[in-house]
């Protein structure tokens, strides 16, 4: 038996206002002057209409149709949940309804979808994971057992920390760099920690996440029965299909047939004799690691490089990252509790992502996700905000 | 392939991007074994060629620049006459050349100044006419009071050309919208650049271009005024000359920043290279900019560039900053950011130079060959 494990990342960053050097040091309120409420609301409502609500409805329908045998997992970031509470509580309600079916698992992350796991001192990371945990308990009355770091960023050090915090499983990329000849379709164990690692099958995941509507791809058009057959031919315990939730209806619009694909997927999977669905927690309970992985340098599921160069690939990104860390040190020294939340919203990895200058295919993906005209605009705006914030805490 | 090309300026005689383009293009065509006869007015600085396949033929004399306006004082009264005279001389010279050297395969002319001659050569010798549009009357007038006389000449040339090369999609759209030309007749070929070496960077913010309404130097000064409130040690250089020079000097005095702004007047080619090399920021706030070779020149010298959003080159170039020419707050924001944030300056500088390597005259020559082969 091979289990299909579907997991969806659900996240929205708090995008920044246009903030020029002339705004630096004008005694403005960070919460209103830094974040572009209008744009954020527009984007959130658009994505909710195109993706969150229709996909949640479809999943609920499918779970009921197949008596709970169709199972999926989600991670909802803290900023996403704040969006729901602020603008569209019905979106959060529909996730709760899905969760109540018992066929849906929730995954832990950092509340702010940040790069705090890469700080020298892991206290901030721990705080943000705990915040997420509290949020999950409050909203879902649930303690997730599996952890997924921001964009699946993973190395030995992070794995050790997450294991120490009591999680049973952790998610990352099925990168060739760590697997070599080995298959991502099994659980593995980090060399230095006692935790089970689920590895994304990037080939099959990207067939849906990236290539589904790409007419030049030989697999196009991708139908549910074709895809289920591909999975049926997979060897191993698990096929991990991990992707952005926005795959459905937002990255691939409705007219590409993505919803029809999803609608037929469970039925086609069940037609294959040796396939079933599991949540991430069930995967970790059911299977045992077949080998060890050693990840001294951070990997992730982002871009072609599958490392952290997406956020820390150029000097501009490094300088913003350094400023964020420096601000954190000062905040802890000065004890500005009221500014802590703002600092954390600025830590959301998307702000650094917008400053990426990677060219070619990745660049096109970056431009798609960014509301700035180019990475330089993204940097100027972010750095201006950080400079203003620094003055506020001094 | 034998090409009769009609130009107006050629290094060392140079008033703008037209000269740079003709220089780069003719030499690269010659390297690819085309025989190029380049016709241009006789000037004080003798232009010559060191290439076997490229002949520079100087014709008559003229005092007119491609960027002159008929109302400019020095040439008052004789403007239109001079243009017709030069075009007639070129056409006659090409007739002589055909008699001695044989027929050309194509005649290629650049902008309004050479269109009359281009049309005449096409009709006399029954050969295809290719026309490159570097700018239109709408660009040069800053879209304020375009002169119908130029527009008529341009329209006639565009209509009679067998194929038009536009230096950008921006310009292609102007040719289609304002001159009513069939878009299928227009190919876009973006310009290239001969890279300029990087110098020892100083805190200089540079404007370089003709001081005409088209190039927007007044917006540069407005932005300078705002920058100086925050970064008082910055120096601003306005390089170039033009009819707006006295007004711009007055403007800088009125704003009280004349001690921080240097007007260089007209620079030699070496001086231009030097100033590109040592500047920290280049600003091109053109009201209308069909391409903007100067931006590529500055970027090639490692100088991060802030350009008008509509500038033609930026359609095809990623690593520069963009502003609306009238948005001097944003222009100042970007200048200050470049001065303050080293990593921004460094990234733009290095990524920009990498991208510049794609803009070669070899590529321009190949694309121009494609155009020739389509009409011969």
Structure tokens at B118: 């281009």
B225 located within any domain: yes
Whether the CB-CB separation of A40 and A70 falls below 8 Å is answered with no
Q: Which residues of A touch B358 (CB under 8 A)?
A: none
Residue B138 and residue B60 in one domain:
yes
Structure tokens at B86: 């030069």
**Looking at CA atoms only, how far is residue B41 from chain A in angstroms?**
44
In this prediction, residue A361 carries a pLDDT of 52
CATH of domain A2-293: 3.20.110.20
Give domain limits for chain A.
2-293, 309-393
Whether the CB-CB separation of B289 and B312 falls below 8 Å is answered with yes
Residue B172 and residue B43 in one domain:
yes
Instruction: Mutation target for B interface from A315, A356, A363, A376: give the one with most B CBs within 10 A.
Output: A376
Q: Which residues of B touch A316 (CB under 8 A)?
A: 341, 343-344, 347
Q: What is the mean pLDDT of residues B236-258?
A: 96
Q: Do B344 and A316 touch (CB under 8 A)?
A: yes
Q: Which residues of A touch B321 (CB under 8 A)?
A: 374, 376-377
Instruction: Mutation target for B interface from A17, A18, A19, A21: give the one with most B CBs within 10 A.
Output: A21
Instruction: For B188-205, give the DSSP string.
Output: E--------------SEE
* Averaged pLDDT score across all residues of chain B: 92
Q: Do A319 and B321 touch (CB under 8 A)?
A: no
Q: How confident is the model at residue B244 (pLDDT cuts 50, 70, 90)?
A: very high
**Looking at CA atoms only, how far is residue A319 from chain B in angstroms?**
7
Q: Which residues of B touch A374 (CB under 8 A)?
A: 318, 321-322
CATH no. for residue B235? 3.40.50.2000
Hey, how many other C-beta atoms are within 10 angstroms of the C-beta on A208?
Answer: 21
In this prediction, residue B71 carries a pLDDT of 63
At which residue do the structure tokens 């992350």 appear? Answer: A109
Number of domains in chain B: 2
Residue B222 and residue B181 in one domain:
no
Q: Do B330 and A379 touch (CB under 8 A)?
A: no
Q: Do B351 and A357 touch (CB under 8 A)?
A: yes
Distance CA B363, CA B373 (A): 15
Of A316, A363, A377, the CB nearest to B347: A316
Q: Do A20 and B329 touch (CB under 8 A)?
A: yes
Of B230, B319, B337, the CB nearest to A380: B337
Q: What is the mean pLDDT of residues B336-360?
A: 95
Q: Which residues of B touch A22 (CB under 8 A)?
A: 226, 230, 329, 332-333
Q: Which residues of A touch B334 (CB under 8 A)?
A: 380
Q: Which residues of B touch A362 (CB under 8 A)?
A: none
Q: Do B318 and A383 touch (CB under 8 A)?
A: no
Residue B155 and residue B259 in one domain:
no
B172-220 pLDDT, tens digit each: 999 999 999 999 999 999 999 999 999 999 999 999 999 999 999 999 9
Hey, how many other C-beta atoms are within 10 angstroms of the C-beta on A123?
Answer: 11
Residue B52 and residue B67 in one domain:
yes
Q: Which residues of B touch A314 (CB under 8 A)?
A: 343, 347
Of B329, B330, B343, the CB nearest to A319: B343
Which residue in B has a C-alpha nearest to residue A382's C-alpha? B337
In this prediction, residue A338 carries a pLDDT of 83
Helix and strand element counts for chain B (H, E): 13, 13
B112-140 pLDDT, tens digit each: 989 999 999 999 999 999 999 999 999 98
Q: How confident is the model at residue B353 (pLDDT cuts 50, 70, 90)?
A: very high
| B55, β-bridge pairs | B37
Residue B122 and residue B213 in one domain:
no
Residue B212 and residue B351 in one domain:
yes
**In this predicted structure, which of B57-71, B92-106, B157-171 has the lowest mean pLDDT?**
B57-71
B1-52 pLDDT, tens digit each: 999 999 988 887 776 778 889 999 999 999 999 999 999 888 777 778 888 8
Which residue range is the domain that position B223 belongs to? 204-356
Catalytic residues of A: 151
Of B321, B336, B347, the CB nearest to A357: B347
How do strand A275-277 and strand A2-10 relate by DSSP bridges?
parallel
In this prediction, residue B69 carries a pLDDT of 67
Distance CA B367, CA B189 (A): 7
Q: Do B321 and A315 touch (CB under 8 A)?
A: no
Task: Give the number of A-B residue pairs with CB atoms closer than 8 Å.
Answer: 57
Whether the CB-CB separation of A274 and A1 falls below 8 Å is answered with yes
**Looking at CA atoms only, how far is residue A198 from chain B in angstroms?**
37
Which residues on chain A place their C-beta less than 8 Å from a C-beta of chain B?
A: 20-22, 314-316, 318-319, 357, 359, 363, 373-374, 376-377, 379-380, 383-384
Which residue in A has a C-alpha nearest to residue B345's C-alpha? A316
Please give the C-alpha separations between residue A232 and each of A261, B89, B213, B320, in angstroms, as whole numbers. 17, 80, 69, 49
Whether the CB-CB separation of B295 and B282 falls below 8 Å is answered with yes
Of B230, B337, B343, the CB nearest to A318: B343
Residue B208 and residue B266 in one domain:
yes
Q: Kindly report the length of chain A.
A: 394
Q: Do A314 and B333 touch (CB under 8 A)?
A: no
Distance CA A164, CA A162 (A): 5
3-state secondary structure B43-78: CCCCCCCCCCCEEEEEEEECCCCCCCCCCCHHHCCC
**Looking at CA atoms only, how far is residue B272 from chain A in angstroms?**
27
Distance CA B243, CA B253 (A): 18
In this prediction, residue A358 carries a pLDDT of 85
Q: With pLDDT > 90 as the criterion, what percentage of chain B qualifies?
A: 78
Distance CA A349, CA B212 (A): 45
Which residue in B has a C-alpha nearest to residue A20's C-alpha? B333
Which residue in A has a C-alpha nearest to residue B321's C-alpha? A376
On the question of pLDDT at B75 being above 60, the answer is no
Of B333, B342, B347, the CB nearest to A22: B333
A162-220 pLDDT, tens digit each: 999 999 999 999 999 999 999 999 999 999 999 999 999 999 999 999 999 999 999 99
Q: Do A21 and B351 touch (CB under 8 A)?
A: no
Q: Do B332 and A380 touch (CB under 8 A)?
A: no
B199 located within any domain: no
Residues 6+ apart with CB under 8 A from A151: A9, A300, A301, A302, A310, A349
Residue B265 and residue B330 in one domain:
yes
B197 located within any domain: no
**Looking at CA atoms only, how far is residue A315 from chain B in angstroms?**
5
Q: Which residues of A touch B322 (CB under 8 A)?
A: 373-374
Residue B42 and residue B149 in one domain:
yes
Residue B8 and residue B104 in one domain:
yes
pTM over 0.95: no
**Looking at CA atoms only, how far is residue B324 from chain A in angstroms?**
13
3-state secondary structure B167-186: CCHHHHHHHHHHHCCCHHHE
Q: Do A379 and B341 touch (CB under 8 A)?
A: yes
Q: Which residues of A touch B337 (CB under 8 A)?
A: 21, 380, 383-384
Which residues on chain B place their C-beta less than 8 Å from a C-beta of chain A?
A: 226, 230, 318-319, 321-322, 329-330, 332-334, 336-337, 340-344, 346-348, 351
Q: Which residues of B touch A318 (CB under 8 A)?
A: 343
**Looking at CA atoms only, how far is residue B168 from chain A in angstroms?**
20
Examine residue B138 and say whether the peptide bond preceding it is cis (omega within 30 degrees of 0). Answer: no
Q: What is the mean pLDDT of residues B313-323?
A: 94
CA dihedral (B87, B88, B89, B94) in degrees, to 10, reads: 90
Which residue in B has a C-alpha nearest to residue A363's C-alpha? B318
List chain A residues with pLDDT less than 70: 359-367
Q: What is the mean pLDDT of residues B262-267?
A: 95
In this prediction, residue A365 carries a pLDDT of 66
Helix and strand element counts for chain A (H, E): 18, 10
**Looking at CA atoms only, how far is residue A21 from chain B in angstroms?**
6
Residue B214 and residue B315 in one domain:
yes
């Amino acid at each position: 038996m091979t289990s299909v494990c579907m997991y969806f990342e659900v996240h929205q960053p708090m995008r920044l206002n246009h903030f020029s050097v002339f705004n630096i040091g004008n005694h403005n309120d960070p919460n209103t002057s830094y974040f572009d409420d209008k744009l954020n609301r527009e984007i959130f409502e658009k994505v909710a209409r195109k993706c969150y609500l229709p996909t949640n409805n479809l999943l609920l329908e499918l779970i009921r149709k197949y008596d709970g045998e169709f199972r999926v997992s989600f991670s909802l970031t803290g900023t996403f949940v704040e969006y729901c509470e602020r603008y569209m509580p019905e979106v959060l309600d529909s996730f709760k309804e899905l969760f109540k079916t018992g066929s849906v698992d929730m995954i832990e992350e950092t509340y702010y979808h940040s790069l705090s796991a890469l700080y020298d001192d892991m206290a901030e990371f721990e705080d943000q994971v705990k915040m997420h945990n509290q949020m999950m308990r409050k909203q879902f009355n649930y303690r997730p057992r599996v952890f997924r770091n921001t964009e699946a960023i993973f190395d030995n050090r992070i794995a050790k920390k997450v294991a120490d915090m009591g999680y049973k499983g952790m998610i990352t990329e099925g990168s060739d760099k760590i697997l070599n000849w080995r298959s991502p379709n099994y659980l593995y164990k980090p060399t230095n920690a006692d935790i089970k690692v689920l590895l994304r099958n990037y080939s099959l995941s990207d067939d849906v996440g990236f290539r589904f509507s790409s007419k030049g791809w030989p697999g196009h058009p991708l139908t549910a029965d074709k895809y289920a057959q591909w999975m049926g031919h997979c060897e191993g315990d698990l096929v991990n299909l991990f992707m952005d939730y926005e795959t459905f209806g937002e990255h691939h619009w409705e007219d590409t047939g993505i919803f029809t694909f999803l609608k037929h997927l469970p039925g086609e999977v069940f037609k294959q004799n040796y396939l079933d669905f599991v949540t991430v927690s069930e995967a970790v309970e059911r299977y045992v690691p077949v080998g060890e992985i050693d990840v001294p340098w951070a990997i992730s599921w982002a871009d072609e490089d599958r490392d952290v160069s997406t956020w820390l690939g150029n000097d501009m990104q490094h300088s913003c990252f350094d400023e964020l860390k420096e601000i954190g040190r000062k905040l802890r020294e000065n004890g500005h509790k009221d500014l802590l939340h703002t600092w954390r919203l600025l830590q959301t990895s998307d702000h650094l992502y917008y400053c990426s200058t990677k060219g070619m295919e990745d660049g096109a993906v970056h431009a798609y996700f960014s509301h700035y005209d180019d990475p330089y605009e993204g940097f100027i705006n972010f750095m201006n905000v950080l400079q203003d914030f620094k003055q506020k805490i001094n | 392939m034998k090409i009769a090309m009609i130009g107006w300026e050629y290094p060392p005689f140079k008033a703008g991007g037209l000269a740079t383009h003709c220089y780069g293009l003719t030499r690269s065509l010659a390297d690819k074994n085309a025989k190029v006869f380049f016709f241009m007015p006789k000037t004080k600085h003798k232009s010559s060629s060191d290439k076997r396949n490229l002949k520079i033929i100087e014709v008559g004399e003229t005092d007119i620049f491609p960027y002159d306006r008929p109302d400019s004082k020095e040439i008052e009264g004789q403007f239109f006459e001079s243009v017709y005279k030069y075009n007639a001389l070129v056409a006659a010279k090409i007739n002589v050349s055909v008699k001695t050297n044989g027929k050309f395969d194509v005649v290629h002319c650049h902008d309004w100044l050479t269109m009359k001659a281009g049309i005449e050569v096409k009709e006399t010798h029954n050969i295809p006419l290719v026309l490159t549009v570097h700018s239109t009357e709408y660009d040069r007038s800053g879209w304020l009071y375009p002169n119908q006389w130029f527009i008529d000449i341009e329209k006639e040339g565009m209509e009679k050309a067998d194929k038009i090369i536009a230096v950008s999609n921006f310009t292609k759209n102007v040719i289609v919208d304002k001159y009513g030309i069939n878009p299928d007749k227009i190919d876009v070929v973006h310009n290239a650049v001969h890279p300029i070496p990087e110098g020892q960077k100083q805190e200089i913010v540079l404007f370089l271009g003709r001081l005409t309404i088209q190039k927007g130097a007044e917006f540069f000064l407005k932005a300078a005024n705002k920058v100086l409130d925050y970064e008082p040690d910055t120096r601003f250089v306005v390089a170039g000359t033009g009819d707006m020079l006295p007004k711009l000097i007055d403007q800088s005095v009125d704003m009280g920043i004349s001690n921080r702004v240097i007007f260089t007047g007209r620079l030699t080619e070496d001086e231009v290279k030097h100033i590109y090399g040592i500047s920290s920021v280049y600003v091109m706030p053109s009201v209308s900019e069909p391409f903007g070779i100067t931006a590529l020149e500055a970027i090639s010298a490692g100088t991060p560039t802030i350009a008008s959003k509509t500038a033609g080159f930026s359609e095809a170039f990623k690593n520069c900053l963009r502003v609306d020419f009238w948005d001097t707050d944003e222009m100042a924001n970007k200048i200050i950011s470049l001065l303050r944030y080293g990593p921004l300056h460094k990234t733009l500088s290095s990524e920009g130079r990498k991208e510049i390597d794609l803009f070669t005259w070899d590529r321009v020559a190949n694309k121009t060959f494609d155009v020739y082969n389509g009409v011969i």
